[in-house]
Homo-oligomer: A and B are copies of this chain.
Amino acid sequence: MLDPKLLEALQAVVECGGFEKAAQRLFLTQSAVSQRIKLLEERLGQPVVTRTSPIDTTVAGRRLLRHFHQLSLMEKDLLDTLQVTRTDSAFTMLAIGVNADSLAGWFLQAVKPFLKRHPVVLDLLMDDQDYTHELMRNGHVAGCVSTRAQAVQGSECRLLGHVRYLCLATPAFRDRFFSSGMTPEALSAAPAILYDRKKDDMHHQFLSGTLGFTGHFPAFALPTPEGFLDYTREGLAYSLQPELMLADDLDTGRLVDLCPGLWMDMPMYWHHWRIESNLISEIEETLVEFALAHLRQP
Protein backbone atom coordinates (compact mmCIF):
# COMPACT_ATOMS: atom_id res chain seq x y z
CA MET A 1 0.00 0.00 0.00
CA LEU A 2 1.03 3.58 -0.57
CA ASP A 3 2.32 5.23 2.58
CA PRO A 4 -0.41 7.68 3.73
CA LYS A 5 2.36 10.07 4.81
CA LEU A 6 3.30 10.50 1.15
CA LEU A 7 -0.31 11.18 0.20
CA GLU A 8 -0.64 13.61 3.07
CA ALA A 9 2.41 15.49 1.77
CA LEU A 10 0.86 15.68 -1.70
CA GLN A 11 -2.39 16.95 -0.26
CA ALA A 12 -0.59 19.63 1.77
CA VAL A 13 1.53 20.78 -1.19
CA VAL A 14 -1.56 21.15 -3.39
CA GLU A 15 -3.71 22.75 -0.70
CA CYS A 16 -1.00 25.21 0.37
CA GLY A 17 0.12 25.87 -3.20
CA GLY A 18 3.80 25.13 -2.62
CA PHE A 19 6.46 23.08 -0.82
CA GLU A 20 7.49 25.73 1.66
CA LYS A 21 4.04 26.32 3.10
CA ALA A 22 3.26 22.60 3.06
CA ALA A 23 6.39 22.07 5.13
CA GLN A 24 5.30 24.68 7.71
CA ARG A 25 1.89 23.10 7.86
CA LEU A 26 3.24 19.57 8.38
CA PHE A 27 6.01 20.71 10.76
CA LEU A 28 8.61 19.23 8.39
CA THR A 29 11.57 20.67 6.54
CA GLN A 30 11.00 21.64 2.95
CA SER A 31 13.40 18.94 1.77
CA ALA A 32 11.46 16.29 3.71
CA VAL A 33 8.26 17.31 1.90
CA SER A 34 10.09 17.36 -1.41
CA GLN A 35 11.50 13.89 -0.63
CA ARG A 36 8.01 12.50 0.02
CA ILE A 37 6.71 13.83 -3.27
CA LYS A 38 9.73 12.31 -5.05
CA LEU A 39 9.07 8.93 -3.41
CA LEU A 40 5.47 9.04 -4.63
CA GLU A 41 6.65 9.89 -8.13
CA GLU A 42 9.26 7.11 -8.13
CA ARG A 43 6.64 4.65 -7.00
CA LEU A 44 4.24 5.74 -9.78
CA GLY A 45 6.89 6.36 -12.41
CA GLN A 46 5.43 9.76 -13.29
CA PRO A 47 5.18 13.31 -11.89
CA VAL A 48 2.28 14.07 -9.53
CA VAL A 49 2.64 17.85 -9.40
CA THR A 50 3.77 20.46 -11.89
CA ARG A 51 6.80 22.50 -10.79
CA THR A 52 4.96 25.75 -11.56
CA SER A 53 3.93 28.60 -9.29
CA PRO A 54 1.34 28.01 -7.93
CA ILE A 55 1.85 24.28 -8.05
CA ASP A 56 -0.81 22.25 -9.83
CA THR A 57 -1.50 18.52 -9.96
CA THR A 58 -0.88 16.26 -12.92
CA VAL A 59 -3.55 13.76 -13.96
CA ALA A 60 -1.80 11.15 -11.81
CA GLY A 61 -1.65 13.61 -8.90
CA ARG A 62 -5.38 14.29 -9.16
CA ARG A 63 -6.18 10.58 -9.03
CA LEU A 64 -3.99 10.21 -5.96
CA LEU A 65 -5.68 13.15 -4.24
CA ARG A 66 -9.08 11.69 -4.87
CA HIS A 67 -7.88 8.40 -3.47
CA PHE A 68 -6.54 10.21 -0.39
CA HIS A 69 -9.82 12.08 0.21
CA GLN A 70 -11.75 8.83 -0.05
CA LEU A 71 -9.40 7.11 2.38
CA SER A 72 -9.78 9.99 4.86
CA LEU A 73 -13.56 9.80 4.82
CA MET A 74 -13.57 6.03 5.14
CA GLU A 75 -11.11 6.15 8.02
CA LYS A 76 -13.21 8.73 9.80
CA ASP A 77 -16.21 6.40 9.60
CA LEU A 78 -14.13 3.51 10.87
CA LEU A 79 -12.84 5.45 13.87
CA ASP A 80 -16.31 6.80 14.62
CA THR A 81 -17.68 3.24 14.56
CA LEU A 82 -14.91 2.00 16.83
CA GLN A 83 -15.37 5.11 19.01
CA VAL A 84 -11.66 5.80 18.82
CA THR A 85 -10.55 9.21 20.01
CA ARG A 86 -8.70 10.85 17.17
CA THR A 87 -5.44 12.57 17.83
CA ASP A 88 -5.55 15.12 15.03
CA SER A 89 -7.85 18.16 14.86
CA ALA A 90 -11.39 17.41 15.95
CA PHE A 91 -12.70 18.92 12.70
CA THR A 92 -12.93 16.95 9.47
CA MET A 93 -12.48 18.92 6.28
CA LEU A 94 -14.98 18.22 3.55
CA ALA A 95 -14.30 19.66 0.08
CA ILE A 96 -17.47 20.45 -1.87
CA GLY A 97 -17.88 22.11 -5.26
CA VAL A 98 -20.71 24.64 -5.58
CA ASN A 99 -21.67 26.90 -8.46
CA ALA A 100 -21.67 30.59 -7.61
CA ASP A 101 -25.43 31.05 -7.82
CA SER A 102 -26.13 28.15 -5.49
CA LEU A 103 -23.49 29.26 -3.02
CA ALA A 104 -24.98 32.72 -2.66
CA GLY A 105 -28.57 31.61 -3.09
CA TRP A 106 -29.17 28.59 -0.94
CA PHE A 107 -26.24 26.26 -0.33
CA LEU A 108 -24.73 27.99 2.72
CA GLN A 109 -28.20 28.12 4.23
CA ALA A 110 -29.04 24.53 3.34
CA VAL A 111 -25.99 22.89 4.95
CA LYS A 112 -26.26 24.71 8.29
CA PRO A 113 -28.21 21.91 10.06
CA PHE A 114 -25.51 19.43 9.00
CA LEU A 115 -22.73 21.72 10.24
CA LYS A 116 -24.44 22.18 13.57
CA ARG A 117 -24.53 18.40 14.09
CA HIS A 118 -20.99 17.53 12.91
CA PRO A 119 -17.50 18.87 13.60
CA VAL A 120 -16.88 19.55 9.92
CA VAL A 121 -15.30 22.52 8.18
CA LEU A 122 -16.24 22.96 4.54
CA ASP A 123 -13.70 23.67 1.83
CA LEU A 124 -15.98 25.22 -0.78
CA LEU A 125 -14.67 25.46 -4.31
CA MET A 126 -16.71 27.68 -6.51
CA ASP A 127 -17.14 28.43 -10.15
CA ASP A 128 -19.94 29.51 -12.39
CA GLN A 129 -22.44 26.73 -13.16
CA ASP A 130 -21.14 23.67 -14.96
CA TYR A 131 -17.49 23.87 -14.07
CA THR A 132 -18.08 22.47 -10.56
CA HIS A 133 -18.52 19.11 -12.27
CA GLU A 134 -14.85 19.22 -13.28
CA LEU A 135 -13.80 19.60 -9.66
CA MET A 136 -15.48 16.27 -9.01
CA ARG A 137 -13.77 14.59 -11.94
CA ASN A 138 -10.38 15.93 -10.83
CA GLY A 139 -10.86 14.58 -7.33
CA HIS A 140 -10.64 18.02 -5.72
CA VAL A 141 -14.00 17.58 -4.00
CA ALA A 142 -15.92 14.77 -2.34
CA GLY A 143 -19.22 16.02 -3.71
CA CYS A 144 -20.63 18.85 -5.74
CA VAL A 145 -23.76 20.74 -6.67
CA SER A 146 -24.00 21.03 -10.43
CA THR A 147 -26.56 21.74 -13.14
CA ARG A 148 -25.39 18.62 -14.96
CA ALA A 149 -27.17 15.28 -14.65
CA GLN A 150 -24.35 13.15 -15.98
CA ALA A 151 -22.48 11.36 -13.21
CA VAL A 152 -18.67 11.28 -13.31
CA GLN A 153 -17.34 7.72 -13.43
CA GLY A 154 -17.29 6.21 -9.94
CA SER A 155 -19.81 8.71 -8.61
CA GLU A 156 -23.54 8.92 -8.13
CA CYS A 157 -25.88 11.79 -8.73
CA ARG A 158 -29.43 12.72 -7.77
CA LEU A 159 -31.73 15.58 -8.66
CA LEU A 160 -32.34 17.93 -5.72
CA GLY A 161 -34.89 20.07 -7.56
CA HIS A 162 -35.04 23.15 -9.77
CA VAL A 163 -34.21 26.74 -8.96
CA ARG A 164 -36.63 29.01 -10.77
CA TYR A 165 -35.28 32.30 -12.15
CA LEU A 166 -37.69 35.14 -12.84
CA CYS A 167 -36.95 38.20 -14.97
CA LEU A 168 -37.45 41.13 -12.59
CA ALA A 169 -37.13 44.90 -12.33
CA THR A 170 -38.57 47.76 -10.31
CA PRO A 171 -41.87 49.19 -11.62
CA ALA A 172 -40.06 52.43 -12.49
CA PHE A 173 -37.44 50.56 -14.50
CA ARG A 174 -40.16 48.67 -16.40
CA ASP A 175 -41.97 51.92 -17.21
CA ARG A 176 -38.76 53.55 -18.40
CA PHE A 177 -37.42 50.76 -20.63
CA PHE A 178 -40.19 48.23 -21.25
CA SER A 179 -43.34 50.33 -21.56
CA SER A 180 -43.91 48.69 -24.99
CA GLY A 181 -42.94 45.23 -23.75
CA MET A 182 -39.78 43.15 -24.16
CA THR A 183 -39.16 44.24 -27.75
CA PRO A 184 -35.73 43.91 -29.46
CA GLU A 185 -35.38 47.72 -29.34
CA ALA A 186 -36.10 47.78 -25.62
CA LEU A 187 -33.78 44.84 -24.90
CA SER A 188 -30.90 46.48 -26.75
CA ALA A 189 -31.28 49.63 -24.64
CA ALA A 190 -32.04 48.35 -21.13
CA PRO A 191 -29.11 47.57 -18.80
CA ALA A 192 -29.06 43.96 -17.57
CA ILE A 193 -26.81 42.16 -15.06
CA LEU A 194 -24.46 39.30 -15.92
CA TYR A 195 -22.35 37.31 -13.52
CA ASP A 196 -19.29 37.30 -15.72
CA ARG A 197 -19.01 38.80 -19.18
CA LYS A 198 -16.81 36.08 -20.58
CA LYS A 199 -18.89 33.01 -19.89
CA ASP A 200 -22.09 31.78 -21.40
CA ASP A 201 -24.62 33.12 -19.07
CA MET A 202 -28.19 32.36 -18.07
CA HIS A 203 -29.22 35.84 -19.10
CA HIS A 204 -28.02 35.24 -22.68
CA GLN A 205 -29.83 31.89 -22.70
CA PHE A 206 -33.03 33.53 -21.51
CA LEU A 207 -32.86 36.34 -24.07
CA SER A 208 -32.05 34.08 -27.01
CA GLY A 209 -33.93 30.90 -26.06
CA THR A 210 -37.03 32.36 -24.44
CA LEU A 211 -37.36 35.82 -26.02
CA GLY A 212 -35.58 35.15 -29.34
CA PHE A 213 -33.25 38.15 -28.92
CA THR A 214 -29.58 37.69 -29.86
CA GLY A 215 -28.44 41.32 -30.24
CA HIS A 216 -26.03 43.31 -28.11
CA PHE A 217 -27.28 44.87 -24.90
CA PRO A 218 -25.71 46.97 -22.12
CA ALA A 219 -24.94 44.96 -19.01
CA PHE A 220 -23.30 45.20 -15.63
CA ALA A 221 -20.88 42.38 -14.88
CA LEU A 222 -21.21 41.76 -11.13
CA PRO A 223 -19.24 38.73 -9.98
CA THR A 224 -21.31 38.50 -6.80
CA PRO A 225 -24.86 37.13 -6.99
CA GLU A 226 -25.83 39.15 -3.91
CA GLY A 227 -25.14 42.28 -5.96
CA PHE A 228 -27.74 41.23 -8.56
CA LEU A 229 -30.64 41.60 -6.18
CA ASP A 230 -29.28 44.78 -4.63
CA TYR A 231 -28.78 46.57 -7.97
CA THR A 232 -32.12 45.34 -9.34
CA ARG A 233 -33.92 46.66 -6.25
CA GLU A 234 -32.14 49.99 -6.71
CA GLY A 235 -33.56 50.24 -10.23
CA LEU A 236 -30.11 50.28 -11.85
CA ALA A 237 -30.83 47.23 -14.06
CA TYR A 238 -33.18 44.31 -14.62
CA SER A 239 -32.01 40.74 -14.01
CA LEU A 240 -32.84 37.08 -13.65
CA GLN A 241 -33.36 36.37 -9.95
CA PRO A 242 -33.66 32.99 -8.24
CA GLU A 243 -37.09 33.16 -6.62
CA LEU A 244 -35.80 31.62 -3.40
CA MET A 245 -33.49 34.64 -2.85
CA LEU A 246 -36.40 37.08 -2.97
CA ALA A 247 -37.89 38.39 0.23
CA ASP A 248 -41.35 39.94 -0.11
CA ASP A 249 -40.26 41.87 -3.22
CA LEU A 250 -43.06 40.62 -5.46
CA ASP A 251 -45.83 40.81 -2.86
CA THR A 252 -44.97 44.38 -1.96
CA GLY A 253 -44.56 45.40 -5.61
CA ARG A 254 -40.98 46.53 -5.01
CA LEU A 255 -40.06 44.30 -7.98
CA VAL A 256 -42.30 43.19 -10.84
CA ASP A 257 -42.12 40.18 -13.16
CA LEU A 258 -41.24 41.51 -16.63
CA CYS A 259 -42.25 38.27 -18.38
CA PRO A 260 -45.17 36.73 -16.46
CA GLY A 261 -45.41 33.04 -17.29
CA LEU A 262 -41.81 32.89 -18.57
CA TRP A 263 -38.88 31.75 -16.47
CA MET A 264 -35.72 29.63 -16.43
CA ASP A 265 -35.74 26.47 -14.33
CA MET A 266 -32.20 25.36 -13.49
CA PRO A 267 -31.87 21.76 -12.30
CA MET A 268 -29.61 21.19 -9.31
CA TYR A 269 -27.92 17.83 -8.98
CA TRP A 270 -25.99 16.49 -6.03
CA HIS A 271 -22.96 14.42 -7.10
CA HIS A 272 -20.84 12.34 -4.76
CA TRP A 273 -18.34 9.52 -4.90
CA ARG A 274 -19.72 6.03 -4.66
CA ILE A 275 -18.09 5.22 -1.32
CA GLU A 276 -19.49 4.39 2.09
CA SER A 277 -19.24 7.54 4.17
CA ASN A 278 -21.62 8.64 6.89
CA LEU A 279 -20.63 12.26 6.41
CA ILE A 280 -21.46 12.16 2.72
CA SER A 281 -24.79 10.42 3.38
CA GLU A 282 -25.72 12.93 6.03
CA ILE A 283 -24.84 15.99 4.00
CA GLU A 284 -26.95 14.53 1.21
CA GLU A 285 -29.89 14.04 3.57
CA THR A 286 -29.58 17.63 4.74
CA LEU A 287 -29.50 18.97 1.17
CA VAL A 288 -32.47 16.83 0.14
CA GLU A 289 -34.48 18.04 3.12
CA PHE A 290 -33.78 21.67 2.21
CA ALA A 291 -34.48 21.02 -1.47
CA LEU A 292 -37.89 19.47 -0.75
CA ALA A 293 -38.87 22.56 1.22
CA HIS A 294 -37.36 25.29 -0.99
CA LEU A 295 -36.56 24.12 -4.54
CA ARG A 296 -39.16 23.36 -7.23
CA GLN A 297 -39.82 19.63 -7.47
CA PRO A 298 -40.62 18.13 -10.87
Contact = CB atoms under 8 A, between A and B. Distances in A.
Interface residues of A, number: 45
A237 B191 CA distance: 39
A123 B126 CA distance: 20
B191 A91 contact: yes
A89 B190 CA distance: 9
Interface string A1-43: 0000000000000011100000011000000000000000000
Interface in A178-210: 188-189, 191, 197-199
Contact of A124 (B17, B217, B222): B222
A295 B216 CA distance: 38
A15 to B, nearest CB: 6
Given A17-B198, A121-B191, A214-B24, A224 B91 contact: no
A160 B24 CA distance: 36
A228 to B, nearest CB: 10
B124 A220 contact: yes
- Tell me how many chains of this kind the complex includes: 2
Interface in A36-64: 54
Contacts of A224: 103-104, 108, 126, 224, 226
A125 to B, nearest CB: 8
Contacts of A124: 220-223
Given A89-B216, A103-B227, A214-B24, A108 B222 contact: yes
A221 to B, nearest CB: 5
